[in-house]
Chains A and B, each alone.
Chain A
Amino acid sequence: MADLLWLVPALPLFGFLILAPLSRRIPRSVVSVIGPGVVFLSALTLTGIAASFISLPETSRSIHQTLWSWISIGAFTPSFGFHLDALSLVMCLVVTWVGFLIHLYSVAYMADDTAFARFFAYMNLFVCAMLILLLGDNLLMLFLGWEGVGLCSYLLIGFWYADPENGAAARKAFIVTRIGDTAMTIGVLYLFTHFQTLDIQQLLARAASTWTPGAFGAVFAASMLLGGALGKSAQLPLQTWLPDAMAGPTPVSALIHAATMVTAGVYLIARTHTIFELAPDVMVAVALIGLLTMLYSGFSAMVQYDIKRVLAYSTISQIGFMFLALGVGAFSAAIFHFMTHAIFKALLFLGAGAVILSLHHEQNIFRMGGLRRELPVTFWTFLIGGAALAGFPLITAGFYSKEMILTAVYGAPRAGMLLWIGALIAAFMTAMYVTRLILIVFFGTARGPHPHAPSWPIQVTLVVLAFFALTAGFFETPPLLGGVTFFSHFTSTALPAAHHPHLSHAADLLLLGAAVFAALAGIVAGYLVFGRREPVVDPKTSLPQWSGIERFFLGGWGFDTLYAATITRPYVFLADLNRRDILDMIYTILAAGVRGLHRMTSVLQTGQLRWYTAFVTMGAVVLLAWVVLP
């Protein structure tokens, strides 16, 4: 079974290869079988491999498969190989199964779209690239997948390319992440020049044996890799692309911009954790960036009126939560939160998609309202997803993963208390804006058109995801609630265990109580602040009445304006200056001189035979005079 590992990314690629060239020729019914089908087969194959993976002894729990040697230039010999360990297995399982559910959902969601096959071709290619990213055994393979998912993200954000705004959003996502990717390329090349290998396992072993903690090389490499992770995972200061990326179809937002691709940065840091652990200062930076991002997006999510943008900011904040966990060394907690987040955020996005679809592509939450009676399935599943995002105690998966992170942050060796309080505030805000969103969309009076119920694939997907949003948290529970450590035990073969300071019973109680309190207080506060106010119906006309601070948060703290003023506009200005190509002037002058000489000589070619005779005579006279005269 383990030999079939290559099939896992190959099957979605196969789907892409069928759908892309034949997109106009094959009927929709075939596309809606192939598109989700290949991802389903891939998920099944991976599940089979997972079964044989678990039966391996714990000391050697990894599967390695080298297909062929990719490039061979001197010491630079990256292979085309896959490496499966507990970390990549968990991530791949989430990607394939959540990916399959979203593909299934898309069959219904995209049913009326003219570019049905193109959509599934891109989605399959995305799944393939994401699996290559996760399974690649060397940094170059990882980078191949990394750029592949970036490309698919670009293609899918700009899927409805007829609207120039969507194209602009796609370019923005591509270019902003490219800034991070440049840093990451530098980091990868630095690691190669230093260790003469790109194989991740060898690299980490050599790094651990060469560098002492805090060594310059480790700090530099970790910072550069962090740059790549920040771009891909939309963390401060490269977060501006993600809210705009909501221009793509909603299943794309669910799969790429919530559940999987944006967590690639988390994976990168967890994968190269050895290097990060050798650079403690960078780890602190990771935690701080995570915390700041959470607070930043918490405030922004509070005032958004586009349902998808609320969820986009909540995605940024939850990835910030994962970064915080990574920064304090709680790698398995970060991956656990990745797993639960992938499930409940996919659920929320798909629920939002169901709402948007049933209201004929209305995304403004102020034109929704009162949907709880008309769309009961969507309402209940969305409520479950929202509760998981808010970290509603005891029954939701989000509670357990957040609790795990909060505990690890509390016990962090550096600035633990500060980070812990910040994280609690962020968790409180999360609960608050989720409550606001649900109140405005599903309660109150109906302010929009009459909705029609979504079709069965949409409802089935929502119910399945809602089930897991409730249950996925029971793999890992705090000591006072059973103390299950299945998940951290499972990932301990690939990731170092978090610092587990021996906490007293009282401290355990405090941690649990604080997590419960943050979630519940947030929900109550959300109800008190947003529950009574009759919402604005059209923000576009009422925007001038909004307070300055609300508009500031609505625009994402003015980051877009700042970047436009400091980077984009000076760049465009310079490009405009250089429109005449200043550096090229030398060659232009040279060419102009040659052209002038050419024109002078071609004037002499009159075509008049008698002129030629005259010139020949004159030439002969001059030559004779030169020779004869002294």
Chain B
Amino acid sequence: MASIPVHYVIGLAGLLFSIGLIGLMTRRNLLFMLICIEIMLNSAGLAFIGAGSVWNQSDGQVMFLFILAVAAAEVAVGLALLLLYFRQYRTLDIDRASQMRG
């Protein structure tokens, strides 16, 4: 199997992370913000896999399994919050929830 150069992997992971981060900062829809967080988590997972394969360590893959579990938990909490948010405001626009300004 032709090995993919590691900087491709890191580059893709960085690209995905940036997409997620920019999406998180620009999107106003709470659902899309959650999706962006998922993308960022997965980009981190990809970086772990890539690093694991470079050093021939299984730790990278183990770490990715942890990230999956964390992501699943996070999605469960996040979606619950999202539902509650929608019930409260009848919208998913995150800028509506700004009462706690100083």
Residues of A within 8 A of B (CB): 601-610, 613-614, 617
Contact = CB atoms under 8 A, between A and B. Distances in A.
Nearest to B21: A617
A603 B26 CA distance: 21
Contacts, number: 34
A606 B25 contact: no
B5 interface: no
Q: Can you list the 6 inter-chain pairs with the closest CB atoms, starting with the nearest?
A: A605-B102, A602-B102, A607-B101, A607-B98, A607-B100, A606-B101
Contact of B97 (A609, A613, A614): A609
A601 B102 CA distance: 8
Contacts of A617: 21, 25
A607 B25 contact: no
Nearest to B100: A607
B101 A610 contact: no
Chain B CB within 10 Å — which of A601, A602, A604, A609 has the most? A609
Interface residues of B, number: 13
A613 B100 contact: no
Contact of A610 (B28, B99, B102): B28
Contact of B98 (A602, A604, A606): A606
B25 A608 contact: no
Contacts of A606: 98, 101-102
B94 A610 contact: yes
A610 B26 contact: yes
A607 B100 CA distance: 5
A601 B21 CA distance: 25
A66 B101 CA distance: 70
Interface of B: 21, 24-26, 28, 94-95, 97-102
A563 B6 CA distance: 97
Contacts of A605: 100-102
B36 to A, nearest CB: 10
A610 B100 CA distance: 13
A608 B95 CA distance: 6
Contact of B25 (A601, A604, A610): A610
B101 A613 contact: no
B31 to A, nearest CB: 14
Contacts of B25: 610, 613-614, 617
Contacts of B95: 608-610
Given A614-B25, A617-B21, A617-B25, A609 B102 contact: no
28 contacts: A601-B102, A602-B102, A603-B102, A604-B102, A605-B100, A605-B101, A606-B101, A606-B102, A607-B97, A607-B98, A607-B99, A607-B100, A607-B101, A607-B102, A608-B95, A608-B101, A609-B94, A609-B95, A609-B97, A610-B24, A610-B28, A610-B94, A610-B95, A613-B24, A613-B25, A614-B25, A617-B21, A617-B25
A194 B98 CA distance: 73
A625 B100 CA distance: 31
A601 B101 CA distance: 11
Contacts of A609: 94-95, 97-98
Contacts of A614: 25
Given A604-B102, A606-B98, 10 more contacts: A602-B102, A605-B101, A607-B102, A608-B95, A608-B98, A609-B97, A610-B24, A610-B26, A613-B24, A617-B25
Contacts of B101: 605-608
Contacts of B102: 601-607
A608 to B, nearest CB: 5
B92 to A, nearest CB: 12
A86 B25 CA distance: 98
Nearest to A605: B102
Contacts of A607: 97-102
Contacts of B26: 610
Chain A CB within 10 Å — which of B99, B100, B101 has the most? B101
